[in-house]
C-alpha cells in the first residue's frame, strides 16, 4: 500500500523540499522557528516516501533492466522532444534513500548549529532547495533533465558555500566552486548536445540501446571523445584532479553545508551521473581506462595532501576528494556495484565526520587548527566516540561500513590491473594514517588551556548518533542482504569477501594507524622533525602541490594577457571599423550638404541642367539608333 | 501662311522668357509671374497641337483649361504665401528665403 503509493508518487520526493523552499522564502523568512520545522517536516516526508520507494523496488522486483519509468513531455519542437520524468531502479532508489536521509539528519543538526545566525530561515530554504535539486537529479530520466538539476545543485552550492558573504574568503570560495564546476559543465553540455544530434534522444533507456549498437557498427573512437566530454562534468562536480580545487575551499560554508556537499548532495552527483550513463561508458574501454586511472590518481593525490593539512575541515575535504577518486576508480574498472556501495557508506561516515567536526568547531568557536585542539575526549566524550567510529569506518577496519565497500573496490581493481590495486591500497594506508592523525591530535594529548570546550546539544548529537549507527551497520547489512543483486550493471554481482585482499587491506589500515600512533601518539609531537626531514615533499603536500598557485599564475599571465590583447583588438579593430564607418558618412554628408543651399532658384537651375542633359543624352542615343550610324 | 511651327516658336520663346525670369528675378512676385508665363506657353503648345493634329478630339484644349484652373489655384496659394512671408519677414526677396535647409 505505502510502497505502491510511494512508487507512483515518487515525484513528491524532490517536490516537497522544493515547496518548503518556496514557502519559506516567500512567507516564513521572519519566522525562523516555523521555517526550520517546515523544512524538516518536508524532508522527513520525502524520506518516508523514499523508504517506500525502496521497499517497492524490493517487493515488486524492479531491477536495473526493468526500471519503473513515468514521464511526461516537458516541451517539444520539431526534432526535439524534451521530457521530464521519474526513473526508479535500484540505483536511484538507493540514492533517494541516502540523499533524503542525510539531508534530513543534517537539517535537524542545523537547528542546533545555526542558532543565532541572522539568516536562519533563509538557510533552511537554501538547504531544502539544495536537497530538492539533488533528489530531482537522481530520478532524472534523461540527460537534459539531469543537466537542469545538475546546474541547480551548482547554484545552491554557490549560495551556501558563500553563506558568510561578509567574509571575503567565503565569497571567493563560492565563486570558485561555481566557476570551476562550470568548466566541467561546459564539456558535459557539449557531450549532451552531441548525443542529441547523433542519436536524436537523451533518454537513458534509449541511449543504453542505441550507443552499444552504434559502437559495434562504427567503432568507439568518436564516442570515446564524447564520453570524455561528458566525463568533464563529473570531473568538476566530483572534485577529480585537476578540477578538485574548489572542494577544499568549499569548507568556507557552514559545517552542515559541508556535510551535505561532501556526503550527499553535490560531489556524488558526478559519480552518480557516470553510473547512470554507465551503459554508454561501459562500452568504451578508452573512456573507462581514463576514468579508472584518473580516479586512482585523484585518490592518491588528495590523500597525499591530506597528510599535512592542519585545519580539520580541510583534512576532511581532501579525504572526500580521495574517496571520490575511489568511487571513480571502481566505475572505471567496471564495478558499478562497488562504486555505489562505497558512495553509500562514504555518505554516512563522511557526513558523520563533518557533523563531528562541526560539533568541535561549534564548541571551540570556529578554531579550526587541529594542533590547537588537543585533549577534547574529556570535554566532548560523545563527539569523540562517534568521530572514532567514523575514523574506523573510513579507514576500512572490519566490521565497519567502509571495510566492505573499500574491499569491493580493491577486489574489482585487482581483477583489472595490479598498478591500480597497488595505488588504491597505498591510498588506504594514507587514509588510515591521516584520519588517525586527525583523531589523535584533536582528541588526545594535552588539553589546550585556552579552549573551553563543551559537549553539543541533543539536536546536534542525535543526528550524529543515527549516522554513527549507520557507519557501523551500513556495510555489513547491505553486504549480507545482497546489495550486489540489486545495484549492479550487467550480471548480478556476488562478491564474497576475498580474504587475501581483505586481510591485506586491514593490515594496511592498521599499519597506517600504527604509524600515526608512533608519530602523534601519547601527546608526543615528533611531526616537526619529520617534516623538516621530508623537506620538499612536506611543503609540496602542505601547499597542495601548488595547484592553486599554478592556476593563479595561469590566470594572471595567460588569461589576463589574452584579455589585454583582445581588449586592444576590440578598442582598435572593432571600434575602429564602427567609428570609421560613422566618420566617413559624416565626411560625405559635409560635402553633400553644400548642394543644399536653401535657394529655390539654385534647385530650379539644377533641374534645368539635368533636364537638358537628359534630353541631350536621349537625343544622341535615339539619333544613333534611328539614323543607323549616320551621325 | 501661319503653321504649327510658328505657334511652337511663340510657345518656346514664352517658355524661355519665363524660365529666365524664374532663375534671375529676385522678387517673389516676379518669380510667380514667370511661372505663369511658362504655364501659358505650355497652353499655347497644347492648343496648337490640338488644332493641327488630325484628330477631332479636343483633348489638348481640355488640358489647357485644366492648366488654367490649376494655375489660378497656384497663384492664389503662391500669393498668399508671399504675403504671409512678407508679413512675417518683411521681405519678398527670394535670396533671403533660404531657411528651409539644414
Sign for the pseudo-dihedral over CA of A243, A181, A231, A63: positive
Q: How far off is chain A from B74, nearest CA to CA, in Å? A: 17
How confident is the model over A595-609, as a mean pLDDT?
Answer: 85
Q: Tell whether A217 lies on the interface with B, counting CB pairs under 8 A.
A: no
Q: Tell whether A597 lies on the interface with B, counting CB pairs under 8 A.
A: yes
Q: How far off is chain B from A586, nearest CA to CA, in Å? A: 14
Do B97 and A605 count as a contact with CB atoms less than 8 A apart? no
All cell numbers assigned to A364: 571551540
Contacts of A600 in chain B (CB under 8 A): 94, 97
- Cα separation of A256 and A39, whole Å? 14
- Cα separation of A322 and A239, whole Å? 9
Q: In the 8-state DSSP scheme, what is residue A265? A: I
Do A598 and B22 count as a contact with CB atoms less than 8 A apart? no
Q: In the 8-state DSSP scheme, what is residue A572? A: I
Higher per-residue confidence, B17 vs A461 = B17
- Cα separation of A19 and A23, whole Å? 6
pLDDT digits (tens, 9 = 90+) for A392-443: 888 888 888 888 888 888 888 888 888 888 888 888 888 888 888 888 888 7
Contacts of A598 in chain B (CB under 8 A): 97-101
Does a cis peptide bond (omega within 30 degrees of 0) precede residue A399?
Answer: yes
Q: What is the pLDDT of residue A577?
A: 92
Q: Tell whether A608 lies on the interface with B, counting CB pairs under 8 A.
A: yes
- Separation in Å, CA A95 to CA A121, A275, A598: 27, 11, 83
Helix H or strand E encompassing B93:
none
- Cα separation of A36 and A267, whole Å? 25
Nearest CA in chain A to B93: A599
Q: Tell whether A168 lies on the interface with B, counting CB pairs under 8 A.
A: no
Does a cis peptide bond (omega within 30 degrees of 0) precede residue A382?
Answer: no
Q: Are strands A68-77 and A80-88 parallel, antiparallel or unpaired?
A: antiparallel
How confident is the model over B19-41, as a mean pLDDT?
Answer: 91
Q: What is the pLDDT of residue A466?
A: 86
Contacts of B31 in chain A (CB under 8 A): 601
Q: Which of B23, B31, B98 sits opposite A598 (nearest CB)?
A: B98
pLDDT digits (tens, 9 = 90+) for A235-285: 888 888 888 888 888 888 888 888 888 877 788 888 888 888 888 888 888
- Cα separation of A552 and A563, whole Å? 15
Q: What is the pLDDT of residue A496?
A: 64
How confident is the model over A518-528, as a mean pLDDT?
Answer: 66
Q: In the 8-state DSSP scheme, what is residue A114? A: T
- Cα separation of A112 and A459, whole Å? 5
Give residue limits of the domains in chain B: 4-96
pLDDT digits (tens, 9 = 90+) for B54-73: 677 788 888 899 999 999 99
- Cα separation of A111 and A121, whole Å? 10
Do B22 and A604 count as a contact with CB atoms less than 8 A apart? yes
Query: Which among A596, A600, A608, A615 is the top mutation candidate for probing chain B, defined by the most B β-carbons within 10 Å of its own β-carbon?
Result: A600
How confident is the model over A509-520, as a mean pLDDT?
Answer: 82
- Cα separation of A91 and A69, whole Å? 13
- Cα separation of A281 and A163, whole Å? 36
Whole-angstrom distance between the N-terminal and C-terminal Cα of chain B?
A: 56
Q: A528 falls in which pLDDT band (50, 70, 90)?
A: low
All cell numbers assigned to A568: 586592444
- Cα separation of A308 and B88, whole Å? 95
* ipTM at complex level: 0.83
Q: Which of B23, B31, B99 sits opposite A598 (nearest CB)?
A: B99
Q: A527 falls in which pLDDT band (50, 70, 90)?
A: low
Q: Tell whether A591 lies on the interface with B, counting CB pairs under 8 A.
A: no
Q: Rg of chain B over CA atoms, in angstroms? A: 17
Q: A629 falls in which pLDDT band (50, 70, 90)?
A: very low
Mean pLDDT for chain A?
84
Single out the residue of A192, A204, A194 nearest to residue A275, CA to CA: A204
pLDDT digits (tens, 9 = 90+) for A312-327: 888 888 888 888 888 8
At CB < 8 Å, which residues of chain B contact A? 19, 22-24, 31, 94-95, 97-102
How confident is the model over A500-506, as a mean pLDDT?
Answer: 82
Q: How far off is chain A from B70, nearest CA to CA, in Å? A: 20
All cell numbers assigned to A213: 549498437
Q: What is the pLDDT of residue A630?
A: 45
Single out the residue of A286, A275, A279 nearest to residue A211, CA to CA: A279
CB B85 within 8 A of CB B100: no
Separation of CA A619 from chain center: 84
- Cα separation of A299 and A306, whole Å? 11
Q: How far off is chain A from B101, nearest CA to CA, in Å? A: 5
How confident is the model over B22-43, as a mean pLDDT?
Answer: 91
- Separation in Å, CA A279 to CA A138, A172, A274: 16, 38, 9
pLDDT digits (tens, 9 = 90+) for A364-398: 776 777 777 777 777 788 888 888 888 888 888 88
Q: Look up the CATH number of domain B4-96.
A: 1.10.287.3510
Q: What is the pLDDT of residue B80?
A: 94
Q: A618 falls in which pLDDT band (50, 70, 90)?
A: very high
Q: How far off is chain A from B96, nearest CA to CA, in Å? A: 8
Higher per-residue confidence, B80 vs A338 = B80
Helical H runs in B25-96? Answer: 28-52, 59-89
Cβ neighbours around A592 below 10 Å, total: 9
- Cα separation of A105 and A348, whole Å? 11
- Separation in Å, CA A367 to CA A54, A363, A375, A440, A451: 41, 9, 14, 17, 9
How confident is the model over A342-354, as a mean pLDDT?
Answer: 88
pTM for the whole structure: 0.76
Size of interface A-B (CB pairs under 8 A): 26
Residue A631 reports pLDDT greater than 50: no
Single out the residue of A65, A63, A88 nearest to residue A3, CA to CA: A88
Q: Tell whether A533 lies on the interface with B, counting CB pairs under 8 A.
A: no
Q: What is the pLDDT of residue B43?
A: 92
How confident is the model over A86-100, as a mean pLDDT?
Answer: 88
- Cα separation of A267 and A321, whole Å? 9
Lowest mean pLDDT among A33-47, A133-147, A178-192, A431-445: A431-445
Instruction: For cell 615533499, name the residue.
Output: A537
Amino acid at each position: 500500500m505505502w510502497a505502491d503509493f510511494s512508487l507512483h508518487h515518487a515525484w513528491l520526493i524532490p517536490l516537497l523540499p522544493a515547496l518548503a523552499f518556496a514557502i519559506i522564502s516567500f512567507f516564513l523568512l521572519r519566522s525562523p522557528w516555523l521555517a526550520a520545522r517546515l523544512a524538516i517536516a518536508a524532508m522527513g516526508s520525502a524520506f518516508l516516501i523514499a523508504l517506500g520507494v525502496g521497499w517497492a523496488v524490493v517487493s515488486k522486483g524492479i531491477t536495473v533492466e526493468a526500471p519503473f519509468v513515468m514521464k511526461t513531455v516537458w516541451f517539444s519542437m520539431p526534432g526535439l522532444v524534451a521530457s521530464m520524468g521519474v526513473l526508479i531502479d535500484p540505483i536511484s532508489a538507493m540514492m533517494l534513500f541516502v540523499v533524503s536521509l542525510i539531508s534530513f539528519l543534517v537539517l535537524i543538526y542545523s537547528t542546533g548549529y545555526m542558532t543565532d545566525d541572522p539568516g536562519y530561515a533563509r538557510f533552511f530554504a537554501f538547504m531544502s532547495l539544495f536537497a530538492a535539486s539533488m533528489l530531482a537529479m537522481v530520478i532524472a530520466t534523461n540527460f537534459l533533465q539531469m543537466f537542469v538539476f545538475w546546474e541547480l545543485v551548482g547554484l545552491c552550492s554557490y549560495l551556501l558555500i558563500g553563506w558568510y558573504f561578509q567574509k571575503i574568503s567565503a565569497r571567493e570560495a563560492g565563486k570558485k566552486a561555481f566557476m570551476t564546476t562550470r568548466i566541467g559543465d561546459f564539456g558535459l553540455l557539449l557531450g549532451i548536445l552531441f548525443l542529441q544530434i547523433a542519436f536524436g534522444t537523451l533518454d537513458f533507456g534509449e541511449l543504453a540501446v542505441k550507443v552499444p549498437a552504434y559502437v559495434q557498427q562504427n567503432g568507439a573512437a568518436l564516442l570515446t571523445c564524447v564520453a570524455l566530454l561528458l566525463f568533464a562534468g563529473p570531473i568538476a562536480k566530483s572534485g577529480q584532479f585537476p578540477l578538485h580545487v574548489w572542494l577544499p575551499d568549499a569548507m568556507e560554508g557552514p559545517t552542515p553545508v559541508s556535510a551535505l556537499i561532501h556526503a550527499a548532495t553535490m560531489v556524488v552527483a558526478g559519480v552518480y551521473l557516470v553510473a547512470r550513463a554507465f551503459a554508454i561508458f561501459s562500452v568504451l574501454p578508452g573512456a573507462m581506462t581514463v576514468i579508472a586511472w584518473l580516479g586512482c590518481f585523484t585518490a592518491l593525490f588528495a590523500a597525499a595532501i591530506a597528510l599535512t593539512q592542519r585545519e580539520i575541515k580541510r583534512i576532511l575535504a581532501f579525504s572526500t576528494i580521495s574517496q571520490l577518486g575511489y568511487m571513480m576508480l571502481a566505475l572505471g574498472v567496471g564495478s558499478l556495484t562497488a562504486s555505489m556501495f562505497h558512495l553509500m557508506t562514504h555518505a554516512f561516515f563522511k557526513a558523520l565526520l563533518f557533523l563531528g567536526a562541526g560539533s568541535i568547531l561549534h564548541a571551540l568557536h570556529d578554531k579550526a587548527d587541529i594542533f590547537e585542539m588537543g585533549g577534547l575526549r574529556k570535554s566532548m566524550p560523545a563527539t569523540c566516540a562517534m568521530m572514532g567510529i567514523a575514523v574506523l569506518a573510513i579507514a576500512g577496519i572490519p566490521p565497519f561500513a567502509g571495510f566492505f565497500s573499500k574491499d569491493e573496490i580493491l577486489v574489482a581493481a585487482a581483477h583489472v590491473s595490479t598498478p591500480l590495486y597497488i595505488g588504491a591500497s597505498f591510498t588506504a594506508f594514507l587514509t588510515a594514517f591521516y584520519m588517525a592523525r586527525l583523531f589523535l591530535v584533536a582528541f588526545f594529548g594535552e588539553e589546550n588551556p585556552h579552549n573551553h570546550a563543551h559537549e553539543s546539544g541533543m539536536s546536534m548529537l542525535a543526528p550524529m548518533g543515527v549516522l554513527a549507527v549507520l557507519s557501523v551497520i551500513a556495510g555489513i547489512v547491505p553486504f549480507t542482504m545482497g546489495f550486489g543483486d540489486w545495484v549492479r550493471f550487467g550480471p548480478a554481482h556476488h562478491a564474497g569477501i576475498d580474504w587475501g585482499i581483505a586481510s591485506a587491506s586491514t593490515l594496511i589500515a592498521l599499519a597506517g594507524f600504527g604509524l600515526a600512533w608512533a608519530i602523534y601518539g601519547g601527546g608526543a609531537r615528533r611531526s616537526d622533525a619529520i617534516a623538516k626531514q621530508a623537506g620538499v615533499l612536506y611543503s609540496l603536500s602542505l601547499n597542495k602541490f601548488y595547484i592553486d598557485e599554478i592556476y593563479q599564475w595561469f590566470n594572471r599571465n595567460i588569461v589576463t594577457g589574452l584579455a589585454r590583447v583582445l581588449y586592444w583588438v576590440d578598442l582598435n579593430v572593432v571600434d575602429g571599423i564602427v567609428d570609421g564607418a560613422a566618420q566617413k558618412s559624416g565626411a560625405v554628408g559635409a560635402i553633400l550638404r553644400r548642394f543644399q543651399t536653401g535657394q529655390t532658384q539654385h534647385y530650379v537651375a539644377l533641374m534645368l541642367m539635368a533636364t537638358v542633359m537628359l534630353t541631350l543624352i536621349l537625343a544622341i542615343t535615339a539619333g544613333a539608333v534611328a539614323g543607323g550610324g549616320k551621325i | 501662311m501661319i503653321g504649327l511651327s510658328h505657334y511652337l516658336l511663340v510657345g518656346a520663346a514664352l517658355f524661355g522668357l519665363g524660365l529666365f525670369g524664374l532663375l534671375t528675378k529676385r522678387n517673389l512676385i516676379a518669380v510667380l509671374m514667370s511661372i505663369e508665363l511658362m504655364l501659358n506657353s505650355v497652353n499655347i503648345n497644347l492648343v496648337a497641337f490640338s488644332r493641327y493634329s488630325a484628330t477631332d478630339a479636343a483633348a489638348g484644349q481640355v488640358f489647357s483649361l485644366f492648366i488654367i484652373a490649376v494655375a489660378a489655384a497656384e497663384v492664389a496659394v503662391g500669393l498668399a504665401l508671399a504675403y504671409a512671408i512678407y508679413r512675417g519677414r518683411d521681405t519678398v526677396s527670394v535670396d533671403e528665403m533660404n531657411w528651409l535647409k539644414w
